[in-house]
Every structure is written in C-alpha cells, then in structure tokens.
A and B are shown apart, each in its own frame.
Chain A
Amino acid sequence: MNYRHYTATDFVTDPFFRSWILEQESSAAAFWENWVKENPDRQEELDEARALLYVLAEKELSIGAEELDRRVTDVLAHISGQAQRTEARMRPAFYRYFTVAASICVVAGIGWLGYLYMETKPGKLREAGIVQESSDGYIVRFNETKKPVTILLDDSSVVTLEPQSELTFPQKFAPERREVHLKGEAFFQISHNPERPFLVKTKELVTRVLGTSFTVRSFEKDRNASVSVKTGRVSVYSKRDEPVSGAAEKVIGVVLKPNQRALFDKRESRLVKVIVDVPLKVTEIPAASLVFDEAPVKNVFKTLEKAYGIELFFNEELLSDCQLTANLSGLPMYEQLDLICRIIHAKYEVVDGQVIIHGEGCKAD
C-alpha cells in the first residue's frame, strides 16, 4: 500500500490508520509516527484526517476485554437460563470458548447434539460430571461438565476432553496400534511409540501419529472438522480415503507440522491445510532478536520461520533491497506479518499452511 498518494479522506477510512487513532494500537502508532517523519510533506493531509477522527471519536470509550467477556457471558447465561426453562435443550455457559477459541478451533456450531445423544443412552455411570460406560473392553467417556477433563490412557498418553465431547477407547490397546474414537473436541498428548501408531477417528477424519500433541475437533453441528498440531508431525486423511489393509489404494491426506491445521469441509468433503489462528512459537526467540534496525527483510522472514516453524515464501531477488526497522516483539504472528508487509508495501497470503509474500521490492524512488 502506498500511502504517499492518500488524501485525508483516504486516511480516515483506512483501517490501519484508524487503529492508530481509535485503538491506539502500538504497532500502528510506531508505523505512522515513522511514516510522518519520512513523509513530512504529507503531514498536513494526515493531520486533517487525525483531527476529524478525534472529533468524531469524542471521548475514548473503552471497554476492556475482560468486561466485554463478562457482559457477553451475562447475556449468554441469561438466555440459556431462559432456554432451559422453556426448551430444556441449550447448555449454559459457553463463555470459556471465547477465551480458548482463538488458540484451538474454528468458531462455529455448538456441541449439544452430543448431549442429546448421551441423554438417550441407557446404563451409564455418573461420576463428577463424567459419564462413563463400559462394554466389551471399551470405555466411553462423555464430558458433561463445563471444564475440560483429563483422561489418562493405557499407554500413558493424555487426552484433554473438552465439554460436550465424547471419547471411546479400549481398556487395553491392541499390540499393533492404538485407536480411539472422538465426537467433539480434544487435545492429545501422545506417548512416543513408532511401533504402535496412534489413530484418532472422528466421523470424517482419521488422524495418525507416532508421538506428538495436537487437537482434534469434530462436532456434529459444525460445518468443519479440524486437526491442529502443537508439536511433532501428524498425518490426516478423510475416512473415505482410509487405506484398506492389503489394498494398494492411494491415500489422499495431508501431513501437518506445528501451527498447521487441517480443515475438513463436511459439505464439500474437502481437506485443506491452513495455519492455526494464533500460532505459538516453537522456538523461543529472545525479544531483542525481534527488534530490527535496517535489517534486510530476508533475515526478518528467516527469524519468523524459525520462531513459528512455518515456511515463508518470497522472491529473494525482488525483496533484496527491502530493509526493515521495526520492533516485532510481543506481537502475534499475523500482526508481525501485517506490519512488515505494510512497511515493504507487500501483501501476504496463506496457502496450504504456508505463508507467501507478494511484494514488488523497495527500490528507492
């Protein structure tokens, strides 16, 4: 984006400019203060836009994230209270989702079908909100509490089962492979054992691992089912493509690395690879190494690649003149990319779980 040709009205309607004035966002402030310094002839234009926004914004009406969460919870608690009285089908307090949703799942749908399903099942044991049922050496656990529940499996793998979710697993795993069935959402930390692959089966997907940690999500109500990886590598394929023993069928699936997520669109039966909403650092990078002073942008990208374990593709030759002066510490990955791309007038897109940078270079005008 080239802001040099922006008029005041363009600035007023530019989201990044607005985030500086209205949200006082630190990365935006850094960018614009620097921009004014580099473009003193555009200050007049910029100031007019600032003045109008300040006047319209009037007073900084802030509502903190916490208060907002609380108010949303209040409303949801209120309506689910009503619903329980009148319809007896909504489960209360989905509040927690708002705090964890960003890190692990797509936001869509709720899991009450699992609840209905459980209601119709006879002969279950209730202990502290966990519904457990055993038959033929299989254990079925349904989490009807509002908090995640931890389950330790026979092979000392640990499963964190989210509310309204159900896990079916054998009391003792077979010698050649470990297999569990999931409805809903769970985070898996699998004990490493290359001889005995671990399989998580949901209605649509099969996730196969040797030893790693990842989240599987598959609620009946959701449009998408997904698998996100925290550590290690996992392969995911749709049930239709599952290899039949003995058959030489070609399996179409994806291999996921940390911070990548496989998304299965149920309606279109399509499996795509994306990046999780909030990528976590796989390598700890000291904050000082994220402060760049006229650094070649290539080095900046290399640092991010290392930090998140995600591949970034860019045309090295084209971007060889691009230098970056910015403090990227403390920002989430997408904000880091936004900031870099603004500075070097580039764009990025996420394709197949990787980041592709499109830029035309930074040759001095």
Chain B
Amino acid sequence: MMTSGGNSSQSRDTRLWKELVQGNDRALGQLMHFHFKALLHYGFKFVKDEAFVKDCIQEVFIDLWNSRERVAEPTHVKAYLLVSVRRKIARNRRTMRLADDSLHDEYAFSIEFSPEWWMIRDETLARKAQVVSEMLAALPVRQREVIYLKYYQELSREEISAMLNITPQTVSNLLQMAYGQLRKRFSPTAISAFLVLLFS
C-alpha cells in the first residue's frame, strides 16, 4: 500500500475509538486485534508470564468497554492502551500478593537482555547485540524505557510524553542523558556512529 505509518494508524485508532464509544463492539475487537501483540510485548517487560499478561490485556479491553461513556478520548490511543496495561498488571500483581516488592512500583521497568532468547546465529551479529544490550542495561530504568518505547513500540516523542506524564522536552532530555551515560562508561570505539544517531 502506498501510505502506511504512524499517522494513518493513529487516525484509524481514533476512528475505532469513536465507534466503540458509540457502542460498536466490533470496533473494540479491531482495536484489540491491532494492538494485542505490542501490548503483550510491553507487559512482558514487567512480568515474565505470558498467560498472565494476556489475561491482563483482555481485562483492559473489558474495562475500556464498561467505562467507554466516561473515558475522555485520548490523543494517542496506543499510548493510552500501553499505560492501561501497565496499570492493570501492577494492580493485578498487588491483589495476587505475589511476593515481589519491586513490582509495587508501577513504573518498575525491567528489560532483560538474556542472550539465549535472541535467535541470532550469525556470530558478528550476536557480538554486536551483546554490546548494545550491555549499553542499554547500564542505563537508568527511565532512560531505558524511553529508548524501548521509541525504537521498539515506535511511539513519537509526543506519545511517550503523554504516556510517562512528562513533557516532550523531558523525553528528548532523557534520550540525551542516555547518550551521555553511554559515552562516560564505554570506550569511543564501542559506540558506533549508529548510537550517536540513536539518541539524536
């Protein structure tokens, strides 16, 4: 197709949102179809339990339907859904009393870099991935999350700022700081031109 990308999917989401608010359950189903994978991936960053995360996502959509007349239309539907999933996971974990104190913080965000999960056969590529993962692991949680949201979930600066409740400028600052941290910790040769671009 000729047009694809952020804007068209955003206007599609907004259209579906309007339809579901009017009581169209198929619109809800479509929204769920479009975003389930991204939400699952995001939820897994908090809890390494796929089934649990999937159930949380279902609950988010049921909640959305039940409160559709009260919820204000979000500017960024995807960002709204991501936040909802994070909250749901935090809440469900608390009620389940899973003994993990770190998760009482809604914003606890852990990206794990277990290399055995990567399906990389190519050795050079695996080494590169190792370097990148070490760099990211060395970053503060918040900076890591911004990088994840920007480059994995492909959210815009504005979406990230809406999600994390910070200004767009702070998003840019976090990215800048991430770059600064990396420069301090790693030798210049490890940081390729690519990482410079990454944080610009």
Contact = CB atoms under 8 A, between A and B. Distances in A.
Contact of B1 (A45, A79, A334): A334
Nearest to A338: B1
Given A71-B58, A94-B26, A108-B19, A63 B1 contact: no
A334 B2 CA distance: 11
B161 interface: no
Contacts, number: 132
Contact of B194 (A45, A71, A108, A348): A45
B125 interface: yes
A15 B5 contact: yes
A98 B2 contact: no
Given A76-B28, A80-B25, A348-B2, A55 B40 contact: no
A63 B122 CA distance: 26
Interface residues of A, number: 49
A13 interface: yes
Interface stretch (B29-37, B84-92, B98-106, B168-176): B29-37
A136 interface: no
Contacts of A241: none
A55 B118 contact: yes
B151 A8 contact: no
Contacts of A55: 113, 118, 129, 132-133, 136
Contact of A47 (B25, B37, B117, B124): B124
B179 to A, nearest CB: 13
Interface in A16-69: 45, 47-61, 63, 68
Interface in B1-36: 1-2, 4-5, 19, 23-26, 28-30, 32-33, 36
A165 B32 CA distance: 26
Contact of A8 (B25, B118, B197): B197
Interface of B: 1-2, 4-5, 19, 23-26, 28-30, 32-33, 36-37, 40-41, 44-45, 50, 54, 57-58, 61-62, 65-66, 111-114, 117-120, 122, 124-125, 128-129, 131-133, 136, 147-148, 151-152, 154, 192, 194, 197-198
